[in-house]
Amino acid sequence: MARTSARLPKGTRITDFISLGVIAKMFPVKVINEILHETDKQSVRQRNLPAHVVVYYVISLALYMSSSCREVLRCLLEGVKWLAGDSTNVRVTGRAGISQARARLGQEPMKRLHDRIVIPIATTETKGAWYQSWHLVSIDGSTLDVADTKENVEYFDRPVSSRGESAFPQLRMVSLVENGTHVLFGTRMGSYRNCSEQVLAKEVICNLTKGMLCMADRNFFSYEMWNNAAATGADLLWRAKTNLILPCIKRFDDGSYLSKIYPSAKDRRHDDNGVLVRVIEYKLKGVPHSEPLYRLLTTIIDPKQAPANELAALYHDRWEIESAFDELKTHLRGAKIVLRSKRPELVCQEFWGFMLAYFAIRGVMHEAAVKENVDPDVLSFVHTVRVIRRKLPLFVAFPPSKHSGLA
pLDDT of 235-262, one tens digit each? 999 999 989 999 999 999 999 999 999 9
Chain Cα centroid distance, residue 241: 26
Residue 80 has pLDDT above 80, yes or no: no
> What burial class does residue 91 get, using C-beta atoms within 10 Å of its C-beta: 0-12 exposed, 13-18 middle, 19+ buried?
exposed
Element (H, E) at 356: helix 344-372
The single-letter code of the amino acid at 387 is: V
Name beta bridge partners: 237: 215, 298
> What burial class does residue 324 get, using C-beta atoms within 10 Å of its C-beta: 0-12 exposed, 13-18 middle, 19+ buried?
buried
Reported as a single tens digit per residue, the pLDDT across 104-129 is: 999 999 999 999 999 999 999 898 89
β-bridge pairing 235-239 and 294-298: antiparallel
What is the pTM for the complete model shown? Answer: 0.85
Neighbours of 214 (CB within 10 A): 26
8 Å CB contact between 342 and 149:
yes
Residue-level pLDDT at 370: 83
* Degrees, nearest 5: CA angle 2-157-111: 75
8 Å CB contact between 301 and 276:
yes
Helix axes 69-77, 51-63, angle to 10 degrees: 120
Exposure class string for 365-384: b at 16+ Cβ within 10 A, else e: bbeebbeeeeebbebebeeb
Reported as a single tens digit per residue, the pLDDT across 356-398 is: 999 998 888 888 888 878 888 777 777 677 666 554 333 333 3
Residue-level pLDDT at 392: 35
